């Protein structure tokens, strides 16, 4: 009888539980670019590391199972994974995207691939009517982030999946913020899940990685060919770091989320703060929809201060919290989206979303919560 293992158990041991041959508990780093053939037409299954590498495969298989997908493909960064998704389309195709999303994703669609004839529309996907209004003859896919970055807007994955299924479109969900520990979009009807493994999966701000997870073998075959041909593959060492990061994903996320809830409540009470954007607050707009499709709220929040003169002071005064881009690691980071992660989003969209000179984003780590709150209190004032 095969035991159906739970998330935490798979995360800790990985798919193979270490190395069969030696008994090593930690899966080996196969730091090899090429592999010897036993004879003509007699490959070990490994030829060249851009096509196959055992350490990368262990990371891919582990993440695939955790996401509830058939296979995963490991890329050298999150944007490399999104670029591979774009290569599924061709000149003249139209893609609908959430308007509140990672700045690099925006840049890929609006700049790099617009020159190749790909058409992109950025809309508020939290209202499915907007999606229906944006559908065109040549629409091929919808790409969403939920909760979104940095305004934490929640899109109903099941509702969008209904639209994509009815219209023969692909639904791509960027699951970086909640990870499969809290949200599994494939089970809600998504076709492709993409990740920046740089964030929570890696978890320590020390690597770049990206993944695509899917169920459909035909799409997977196309994506594997794109992956191998365009070459932005995940290195053996970074694959190992991802495996290492995934081992503690559940406990890191739980502690980070616990800290985030406390920080969100602290910020809500602070008179210098105008509004807190966090899906874990019951009075927050996306709270109910998020609860219906995930089991957690994650560890990223944004907040708006009343006086923008306070922003440079906060960024200089924080001592434990670091003023740096990125998110999802054990260290708490504070970001100023308008000049950092979202600098390339056009002014009109930023204005519509509220990504302005008053907004800061926090990625909450696993430090002592009292230290973090004291640090914020000292930086923001009472």
Ligand X SMILES: *Cc1c(COP(=O)(O)O)cnc(C)c1O
Q: Which residues are catalytic?
A: 50, 102, 174, 199
The burial of 227, by beta-carbon neighbours within 10 Å (0-12 exposed, 13-18 middle, 19 or more buried), is given as buried
Q: Which is nearer to ligand X, 193 or 380 (CB)?
A: 193
Show the CA angle centred on residue 203, arms to residues 3 and 155, nearest 5°: 80
Taking the complex as a whole, the smallest distance from the CB of residue 10 to ligand X amounts, in Å, to 23
Q: Which is nearer to ligand X, 52 or 77 (CB)?
A: 77
Which tokens sit at 167?
């219209």
Taking the complex as a whole, the smallest distance from the CB of residue 121 to ligand X amounts, in Å, to 19
CA separation, residue 252 to residues 6, 60, 63, 153, 195 (Å):
17, 20, 16, 23, 17
Q: Under DSSP, is residue 158 helix (H, G, I), strand (E, B) or coil?
A: helix
Positions touching ligand X (CB under 6 A) are 77-79, 102, 104-105, 145, 149, 174, 176, 196, 198-199, 208, 210
Q: Which segments of 278-368 does DSSP mark as H helices, in order?
A: 287-293, 310-317, 347-353
Q: Which segments of the chain does DSSP mark as H helices, in order?
A: 7-13, 54-67, 78-86, 103-107, 128-134, 157-166, 179-182, 217-230, 236-247, 249-269, 287-293, 310-317, 347-353, 369-380
CA separation, residue 220 to residues 69, 71, 107, 214 (Å):
11, 7, 25, 7
Helix axes 310-317, 369-380, angle to 10 degrees: 140
Q: Which is nearer to ligand X, 48 or 237 (CB)?
A: 237
Residue 212 parent element (H or E): strand 210-214
Do residues 99 and 349 make contact, with C-beta atoms less than 8 angstroms apart?
A: yes
User: Distance between CA 60 and CA 212 in Å, rounded?
Assistant: 9
Taking the complex as a whole, the smallest distance from the CB of residue 78 to ligand X amounts, in Å, to 2
Q: Which is nearer to ligand X, 210 or 236 (CB)?
A: 210
Rg over alpha carbons for the chain, rounded to the nearest Å, is: 21
Q: Which is nearer to ligand X, 353 or 379 (CB)?
A: 353
333-335: strand order across its sheet? 273-277, 300-305, 359-363, 333-335, 322-323
- Chain position whose Cβ is nearest to ligand X: 78
Taking the complex as a whole, the smallest distance from the CB of residue 18 to ligand X amounts, in Å, to 27
DSSP-assigned beta bridge partners for residue 305: 273
210-214: strand order across its sheet? 71-75, 210-214, 192-196, 170-174, 139-145, 94-98, 119-123
Taking the complex as a whole, the smallest distance from the CB of residue 174 to ligand X amounts, in Å, to 5
Q: Which is nearer to ligand X, 97 or 163 (CB)?
A: 97
Taking the complex as a whole, the smallest distance from the CB of residue 72 to ligand X amounts, in Å, to 15
Taking the complex as a whole, the smallest distance from the CB of residue 364 to ligand X amounts, in Å, to 15
Q: Which is nearer to ligand X, 79 or 318 (CB)?
A: 79
């Amino acid at each position: 009888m095969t035991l159906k293992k739970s998330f935490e158990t798979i995360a800790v041991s990985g798919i193979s539980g270490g190395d069969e041959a030696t008994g090593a508990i930690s899966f080996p780093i196969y730091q090899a670019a090429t592999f010897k053939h036993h004879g003509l037409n007699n490959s070990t299954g490994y030829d060249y590391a851009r096509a196959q590498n055992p350490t990368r495969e262990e990371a891919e298989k582990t993440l695939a199972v955790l996401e509830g997908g058939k296979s995963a493909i490991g890329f050298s960064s999150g944007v490399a994974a999104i670029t591979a998704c774009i290569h599924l389309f061709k000149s003249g195709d139209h893609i609908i995207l959430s308007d509140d999303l990672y700045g690099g994703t925006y840049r890929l669609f609006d700049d790099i691939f617009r020159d190749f004839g790909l058409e992109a529309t950025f809309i508020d996907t939290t209202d499915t009517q907007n999606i229906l209004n944006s559908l065109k003859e040549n629409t091929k896919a919808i790409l969403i982030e939920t909760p979104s970055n940095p305004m934490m807007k929640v899109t109903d994955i099941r509702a969008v999946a209904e639209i994509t299924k009815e219209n023969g479109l692909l639904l791509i969900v960027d699951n970086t913020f909640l990870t499969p520990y809290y949200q599994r979009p494939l089970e809600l009807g998504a076709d492709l899940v993409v990740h920046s493994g740089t964030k929570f999966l890696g978890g320590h701000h020390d690597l770049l990685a990206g993944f695509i997870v899917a169920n459909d073998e035909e799409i997977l075959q196309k994506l594997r060919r794109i992956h191998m041909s365009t070459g932005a593959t995940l290195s053996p060492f970074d694959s190992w770091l991802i495996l290492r990061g995934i081992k503690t994903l559940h406990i890191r996320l739980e502690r980070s989320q616990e800290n985030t809830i406390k920080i969100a409540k602290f910020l809500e009470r602070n008179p210098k703060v105008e509004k807190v954007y966090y899906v874990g607050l019951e009075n927050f707009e996306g709270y109910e929809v998020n609860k219906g499709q995930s089991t957690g709220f994650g560890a990223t929040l944004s907040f708006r201060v009343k006086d923008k003169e306070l922003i440079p002071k906060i960024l200089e005064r924080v001592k434990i919290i670091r003023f740096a881009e990125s998110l999802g690691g054990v260290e708490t980071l504070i970001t100023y989206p308008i000049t950092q992660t979202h600098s390339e989003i056009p002014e009109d969209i930023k204005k519509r979303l509220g990504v302005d000179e008053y907004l800061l984003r926090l990625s909450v780590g696993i430090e002592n919560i009292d230290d973090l709150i004291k640090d914020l209190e000292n930086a923001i004032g009472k």
